[in-house]
C-alpha cells in the first residue's frame, strides 16, 4: 500500500495497465470517457467521440481490480507525430498519478512504433501536467475545443541510444525486490518517473550483483570491510557487486548516478557506522566510492532537482 498525491493510502498493486487492442478492452476506454467527460462535464456524446475514435487509434486502459478507471488514446497525425489525448481519470481516482501512468504507457507504445514526436491539445488547466511529462508549448495561440480553452503542446522523442543515460539504484527504480529487508522504496519524484519513461535509467543493484540473496542480513561498512549483522565478512560480495556497477556505468556511458542514501553500497553522503546501533556517519558505500573513483558523479535520491539541472547543462 502506498500513498497517493493527496496523502491517502492507495493499493497500486491492483492497477493493471492494458494496451486496448480488442473490442472489450476499448469498451473500457469508452466507459471511462462516458463517466469522466460525457457525464461529468456534460460533453455531448457526439463531441466526446470524434473522427479519431476508430480502428487506427490506440487506447490505453487502466483497470483497478476489474473496473476501468483511467484511459488515454493516440493516433497518427502525420509527419512522424502521434497525437495523444482524451486522457481521462474517473473523478474518484484523481490525484493518484493514474493519468501519468496511462501517458507513460502510451509513450512507450509510441516509441516502439517509431514516432519521432508526440503532440497533445491540452486544456489550459492541464498544461502543467504535460510540462512535467516533457511537453512544451508549440503554438502561442489559445483556441477552443468544445467548451475547453486549449494550447497545442509537443514532445520530441529522442531515440534511446541517443539519450544521456543515468545509473540508478535498482531499489529506487522499482519493479524488482532487491533490498536487504525485502522492502520497496521506489522513487516517485516526477522527474525521476519521466526519465524512467524515457528509458534513460539503468537500474543496478550492487549487492544482488555480488551474489547476495534477497532478503539478506543487514550489513554495514567500516573502512574497507563490510560485515553482516551476523558477523559474516561480506566484503568480497560487496566488492564484486561494486565492480559490476562500475562496469555497467562505463558500458552504458552514463553521465551520472542517482544512488540510494545510507546503504553500505549505494550511500553517497552518509552510511551506518558498522556498530549496528543505528548510528549514521558521513561516508559513502563501496559501489559509490568505486563509481566516484572511476570519475562518475553521484547524487542521492533527495537531490534529483540538482541532478536535473546537471543533466540540463549537458544537453
Ligand atoms: S545495494 Fe543499492 S540498489 Fe541494491 S538494494 Fe541496496 S541500496 Fe538498493
**Residue 93 shares a structural domain with residue 28:** yes
**Residue 85 shares a structural domain with residue 171:** no
Given 57, 80, 114, the domain boundary residue is 114
Rounded Cα distance between 74 and 145, Å, is 17
**Residue 63 shares a structural domain with residue 201:** no
**Would you say the CB of residue 106 lies under 6 angstroms from ligand 1?**
no
Ligand 1: residue of 169, 212, 215, 242 to mutate (most ligand atoms within 8 A of CB) is 169
In a domain, 83, yes or no: yes
Distance in Å, CA 272 to ligand 1 centroid: 14
Number of domains into which the chain is organized: 2
Nearest CA to ligand 1 atom 6: 179
Given 84, 114, 144, the domain boundary residue is 114
**Residue 166 shares a structural domain with residue 310:** yes
Which domain, by its residues, includes 73? 2-114
**Residue 204 shares a structural domain with residue 284:** yes
- Kindly state the cell numbers that stand for 231: 558477523
| C-alpha separations of 57 from 20, 44, 157 in Å | 10, 21, 19
In a domain, 125, yes or no: no
**Residue 182 shares a structural domain with residue 308:** yes
In a domain, 121, yes or no: no
**Residue 51 shares a structural domain with residue 168:** no
**Any idea how long the chain is?**
315
Ligand 1: residue of 186, 206, 268 to mutate (most ligand atoms within 8 A of CB) is 206
In a domain, 208, yes or no: yes
**Residue 85 shares a structural domain with residue 188:** no
In a domain, 143, yes or no: no
pLDDT for the residue 212: 97
**Residue 104 shares a structural domain with residue 22:** yes
Rounded Cα distance between 175 and 65, Å, is 19
The ligand 1 atom nearest the CA atom of 265: 1
Report the CATH number that the domain containing residue 88 is assigned in CATH.
3.40.630.30
Give a three-class secondary structure readout of the chain. Answer: CEECCCCCEECHHHEEEEEECCHHHHHHHHHHHHHHHHHCCCCCHHHHCCCCCCCCCEEEEEEECCEEEEEEEEEECCCCEEEEEEEEECHHHCCCCHHHHHHHHHHHHHHHCCCCEEEEEEEHHHHHHHHHCCCEEEEEEEEEECCEEEEEEEEECCCHHHCCCEEEEHHHHCCCCCCCCCCCCCCCCHHHHHHHHHCCEEEECHHHHCCCCCCCCCEEEECCEEEECCCCECHHHHHHHHHHHHHHHHHCCCCEEEECCECCCCCCCEEECCCCCCCEEECCCHHHHHHHHCCCEEEEHHHHHHHHHHHHHHC
**Residue 171 shares a structural domain with residue 282:** yes
In a domain, 35, yes or no: yes
**Residue 186 shares a structural domain with residue 310:** yes
**Would you say the CB of residue 203 lies under 6 angstroms from ligand 1?**
no
* CB distance 246 to 299 below 8 Å: no
Rounded Cα distance between 82 and 87, Å, is 14
pLDDT for the residue 9: 75
**Residue 167 shares a structural domain with residue 293:** yes
How far is Cα of residue 91 from the mean position of the Cα atoms in its chain?
23
Rounded Cα distance between 171 and 259, Å, is 9
- Digits of tens for pLDDT over the chain (315 positions)? 565 666 677 888 789 999 999 999 999 999 999 999 998 888 899 989 999 998 899 999 999 988 999 999 999 999 999 999 999 999 999 988 899 999 999 998 998 999 999 999 999 999 999 998 889 999 888 988 878 899 999 999 877 667 899 999 999 999 899 999 999 999 999 899 989 988 899 999 999 999 999 999 999 999 999 999 999 999 999 999 999 999 999 999 999 999 999 999 999 999 999 999 999 999 999 999 999 999 999 999 999 999 999 999 997
In a domain, 210, yes or no: yes
Distance in Å, CA 170 to ligand 1 centroid: 6
In a domain, 271, yes or no: yes
Distance in Å, CA 179 to ligand 1 centroid: 6
What are the residues facing 3 on neighbouring strands?
9
Amino acid at each position: 500500500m502506498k500513498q497517493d498525491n493527496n496523502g491517502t493510502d492507495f493499493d497500486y498493486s491492483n492497477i493493471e495497465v492494458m494496451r486496448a487492442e480488442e473490442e472489450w478492452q476499448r469498451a473500457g476506454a469508452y466507459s471511462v470517457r462516458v463517466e469522466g467527460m460525457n457525464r461529468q462535464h456534460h460533453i455531448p456524446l457526439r463531441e466526446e467521440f470524434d473522427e479519431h475514435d476508430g480502428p487506427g487509434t490506440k487506447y490505453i486502459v487502466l483497470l483497478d481490480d476489474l473496473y476501468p478507471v483511467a484511459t488515454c488514446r493516440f493516433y497518427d497525425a502525420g509527419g512522424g507525430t502521434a497525437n495523444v489525448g482524451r486522457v481521462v481519470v474517473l473523478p474518484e481516482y484523481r490525484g493518484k498519478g493514474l493519468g501519468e501512468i496511462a501517458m507513460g504507457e502510451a509513450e512507450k507504445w509510441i516509441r516502439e512504433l517509431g514516432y519521432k514526436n508526440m503532440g497533445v491539445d491540452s486544456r489550459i488547466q492541464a498544461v502543467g501536467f504535460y510540462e512535467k511529462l516533457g511537453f512544451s508549448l508549440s503554438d502561442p495561440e489559445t483556441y477552443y475545443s468544445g467548451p475547453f480553452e486549449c494550447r497545442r503542446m509537443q514532445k520530441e522523442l529522442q531515440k534511446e541510444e541517443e539519450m544521456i543515460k543515468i545509473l540508478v539504484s535498482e531499489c529506487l527504480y522499482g519493479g524488482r525486490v532487491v533490498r536487504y529487508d525485502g522492502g520497496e522504496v521506489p522513487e516517485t519524484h516526477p522527474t525521476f518517473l519521466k526519465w524512467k519513461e524515457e528509458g534513460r535509467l539503468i537500474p543496478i543493484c550492487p549487492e544482488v550483483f555480488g551474489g547476495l540473496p534477497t532478503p539478506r542480513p543487514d550489513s554495514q561498512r567500516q573502512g574497507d570491510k563490510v560485515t553482516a549483522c551476523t558477523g559474516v565478512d561480506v566484503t568480497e560480495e560487496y566488492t564484486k557487486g561494486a565492480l559490476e556497477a562500475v562496469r555497467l556505468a562505463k558500458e552504458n556511458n552514463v553521465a551520472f548516478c542517482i544512488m540510494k542514501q545510507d546503504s553500505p553500497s549505494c550511500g553517497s553522503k552518509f552510511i551506518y557506522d558498522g556498530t549496528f546501533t543505528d548510528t549514521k556517519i558521513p561516508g559513502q558505500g563501496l559501489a559509490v566510492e568505486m563509481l566516484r573513483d572511476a570519475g562518475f558523479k553521484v547524487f542521492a535520491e533527495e537531490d534529483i532537482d540538482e541532478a536535473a539541472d546537471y543533466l540540463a547543462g549537458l544537453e
